[in-house]
Amino acid sequence: MRALIISADHFEDSELLFPFYRLQEEGVEVYTTSIARGKINGKHGYEVAVDIAVRDVDPNNYDFLVLPGGKAPTKLRKDPAVIAIAQDFMRRNKPVAAICHGPQILISAGVLQGRRATCYHSVAEELQGAGALYEDTEVVVDDKLVTSRQPSDLPAFMREIVKLLGHPR
């Protein structure tokens, strides 16, 4: 199984790194993508290597999509390649996990109409405006879509992701 994490500079460090390493623990190959190859830097100083630029991503090569939060989604949601990847995963009902501001990418992709989801409190109104059914809870699972609000929700977020992968603990 192969997971794709889409992020950019100013990501929330724990929201990228926790899924990155936890998925690896489950035997998942994890790849990081961003606007360009090189490195991206988190809000708290962590640096992450970018394996592939979003423009070069073929969604067919990945089984799972992770969208961390922080300030990165604000930039990423403007990139047509990022939007196309999110739309492809959602259209084909592949697992997608988004936390904090990560759902902003899904909002811009126009894929949340009628879907149950959560996000960081400052994004809630926009999430509802996109037609999502907002729930203010640590994790929301709607079929193969997993969403959470903030770093303190990471244990619940990852618990549900691992279940979705078919590895319940």
Note if 44 is an active site residue: no
List the catalytic residue out of 10, 44, 101, 167: 101
Region label for 164, one of left (φ > 0), alpha (ψ between -120 and 50) or beta (otherwise): alpha
Region label for 98, one of left (φ > 0), alpha (ψ between -120 and 50) or beta (otherwise): beta
Half-sphere exposure of 50 (CA within 13 A, CB side): 21
Q: Is the sign of the CA dihedral 30, 132, 160, 71 positive or negative?
A: positive
Return the closest-CA partner of residue 57 out of 111, 110, 5: 5
CA distance 127 to 49: 30
Catalytic residues: 101
